[in-house]
Every structure is written in C-alpha cells, then in structure tokens.
C-alpha cells in the first residue's frame, strides 16, 4: 500500500477537512480498529494496520515514532485536527492521539 500523507501538522483546513470527514466515516464504521498510540504502533509493527490516524494536536514525542514507523512500513497515514475528534470517531469519550483501521485479512474483529 502506498503512503498517502493527507495534510500534516502544518496543512490548511480546506480540502483536508473533506478528506478527514470521509476518513472519519471509514473509522466510525470499521469493524476492526485499535485506539491509542501503543495499540496502533503494535498493529503497524504486526502488519495489521491498513490506515493510521494521527491527531495534529497530540505531542510529537508521543506520535513521532508512530509517524516514522508508518512511513517506513508504507502504511497510509491520515492527519486529523483534534484528539477529541479522533476519540469521538472511535467511539470513546476521551481524546485519542492515534487510531488505526485493521486490515480485513488480518483483523480479528476486536475494537478498543
């Protein structure tokens, strides 16, 4: 899978917002996903992540290693504006720095 860098920390809102909405729909409806930087990193390392979402307002010391791993592993990366928006899209009441949709061939149907 090719890396598609949608936005980035310094990206403008315009077109990125439309892509984020489409991506949020994919994340909301995904049957297999993980939430949180540690679980997302583990999914990328294990080859299970199809798409990774990272919040722009998360601390770089937290998300930087995950972003580099996604680049190295050629995993699609989608930037979202706010941690609380990402958390809400994942169905949790708190913000999330990162989340991933698991690939269908390797996902086990669990979320969390």
What gap in Å lies between CA 82 and CA 101, rounded to an integer?
A: 18
Distance, CA of 102 to CA of 94 (rounded, Å):
21
Residue pair 41/54 in contact (Cβ under 8 Å)? The answer is: no
Mean pLDDT of all residues in 83-103 = 94
Q: Give the mean pLDDT of the chain.
A: 82
Displacement of CA 85 from its chain's centroid (Å)? 12
pLDDT at 6 over 90: no
pLDDT tens readout for residues 18-60: 555 677 788 988 999 999 999 999 999 999 999 999 999 999 9
Structure tokens, 93: 């009441």
| All domains of the chain in start order, with CATH | 5-102 (3.30.1330.30)
């Amino acid at each position: 899978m090719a890396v598609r860098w949608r936005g980035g920390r310094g990206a403008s809102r315009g077109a990125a917002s439309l892509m984020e909405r489409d991506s949020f729909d994919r994340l909301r409806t995904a049957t297999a996903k993980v939430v949180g930087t540690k679980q997302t990193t583990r999914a990328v390392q294990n080859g299970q992540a199809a798409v990774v979402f990272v919040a722009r307002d998360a601390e770089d010391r937290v998300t930087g290693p995950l972003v580099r791993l996604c680049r190295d592993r050629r995993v699609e990366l989608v930037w979202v504006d706010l941690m609380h928006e990402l958390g809400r899209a994942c169905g949790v009441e708190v913000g999330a720095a990162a989340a991933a949709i698991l690939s269908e061939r390797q996902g086990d149907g669990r979320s969390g």
